[in-house]
Amino acid sequence: MRVAAPVDGEVIPLDQVPDKMFSAGTMGPGFAVLPTGEVFSSPVDGVLTMVFPTKHAFAVTTDDGVQILVHIGLETVALKGDGFEALAAKGDRVSAGTPVIRADLAAIGAKVPSLVTPVIVMNGKDFDVSSPSLDDPAAVVTVTGKG
């Protein structure tokens, strides 16, 4: 299964995210995007299993059980939803590319340390996750079953 970039922008390795929780891989393997677009879409086909009340992050679970977290910006939870608009709801079946959150990057960027958006395979220990391909936003990492 391929995990796409959820937003237009520059794909970067997770170790370049200026937050140790993400850059050290503590939350799981993945990649990040320095967004230029304001619409954040599902990176995979699956069910939207979480849209945080503050709309700064969402999670999608694939039919194979892969859990993907998209976290828009750093320290954005403190904005309490200001600058974010939900375009989909928990429980919705989504495809890769289905819009989930719209974010006002100018308003948000002025209030947080970074707009970098980590994309994490939350249960990556249960799967084989490839190293990021920084050249193909449609397939940044590939996730397969172990074994």
- Give me the architecture of the 2-125 domain, per CATH: Distorted Sandwich (2.70)
| Domain positions in the chain | 2-125
DSSP 74: B
pTM (2 decimals)? 0.96
Cα dist. 51→1, 87, 114, 140 in Å? 22, 10, 20, 22
Q: Please identify which of the residues 9, 46, 51, 71 carries the catalytic annotation.
A: 71
- Residues of the chain with pLDDT > 90: what percent? 93
Report residue 134's pLDDT band, with 50, 70 and 90 as the boundaries: confident
pLDDT computed for residue 91 by the predictor = 98
| Residue 71 annotated to the active site | yes
Model confidence band, residue 137 (pLDDT cutoffs 50, 70, 90): confident
